[in-house]
């Protein structure tokens, strides 16, 4: 019933969650020295977006003006940057941090523009998924007892042909 699906949704909100997202501006350069020089320039008032277009070694920096949109499933793409961004406060310039575990490698300066916290998706958006998960759990819960009832009810009518078991179960 719809009531059961709504109850399942309410009891399992973690399954129907929009993951946390981070919006940031980043300048990625090859050396620590370059990063420190750019850090000074930002400190003197130059805009990170402008510096990212001219200096970042990320391919997409030209088009995005250094803006990145991060999801938890993109952790591997950004390596240490993702972990640092998760810890950083909005509006606070960070870095330089060394990026070793993702390509391109280098030194990153970044500022978190916005953190969008994880939140449950609206029921209307996930109703089909909630109905599916409820059905799966109900089947898992009910199937063993139904199978046992059928086994008990028809035990006298069941005949096992042991000579054919090797066709169904190898090594029997």
Pairs from 141-148 (Cβ < 8 Å, separation ≥ 24):
none
* Cα 49 to chain centroid, rounded: 26
pLDDT at 76 over 90: no
What is the pTM assigned to this prediction? 0.67
- Residue 161 pLDDT grade (very low, low, confident, very high; cuts 50, 70, 90): confident
**Average pLDDT score over the chain:** 90
Distance CA 5, CA 55 (A): 52
Between 48-55 and 32-43, two packed helices, what is the crossing angle to 10 degrees? 150
pLDDT score of 20:
86
Q: Could you tell me which of 118, 120, 115, 96 has the C-alpha nearest to residue 106?
A: 96
Distance CA 109, CA 27 (A): 5
The answer to whether the beta carbons of residues 118 and 17 sit under 8 Å apart is yes
- Residue 167 pLDDT grade (very low, low, confident, very high; cuts 50, 70, 90): confident
Distance CA 16, CA 24 (A): 25
| pLDDT tens figures, 95-107 | 999 999 877 899 9
- Mean local confidence (pLDDT), 46-72: 93
- The residue ranges of DSSP E strands in 100-138, in sequence order, are 106-116, 119-120
| pLDDT tens figures, 78-100 | 888 988 998 999 999 999 999 99
User: 71 or 115: whose pLDDT is higher?
Assistant: 115
Distance CA 77, CA 88 (A): 18
Residue 105 dihedral angles phi and psi, to the nearest 5°: -85, 150
pLDDT score of 160:
77
pLDDT score of 31:
95
Helix (H) or strand (E) holding 101: none
Least confident of 10-14, 77-81, 159-163: 159-163
pLDDT at 41 over 60: yes
């Amino acid at each position: 019933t719809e009531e059961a699906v709504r109850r399942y949704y309410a009891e399992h909100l973690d399954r129907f969650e929009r993951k946390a997202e981070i919006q940031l501006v980043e300048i990625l350069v090859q050396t620590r020295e370059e990063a420190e020089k750019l850090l000074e320039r930002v400190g003197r008032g130059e805009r990170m977006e402008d510096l990212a277009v001219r200096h970042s070694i990320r391919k997409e920096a030209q088009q995005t003006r250094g803006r990145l949109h991060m999801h938890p499933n993109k952790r591997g793409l950004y390596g240490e940057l993702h972990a640092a961004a998760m810890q950083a406060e909005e509006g606070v310039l960070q870095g330089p941090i060394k990026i070793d575990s993702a390509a391109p490698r280098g030194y990153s300066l970044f500022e978190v523009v916005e953190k969008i916290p994880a939140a449950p998706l609206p029921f209307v958006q996930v109703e089909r998924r909630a109905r599916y998960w409820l059905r799966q759990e109900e089947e898992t819960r009910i199937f063993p007892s139904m199978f046992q009832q059928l086994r008990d009810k028809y035990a006298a009518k069941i005949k096992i042909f042991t000579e054919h078991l090797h066709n169904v179960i190898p090594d029997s």
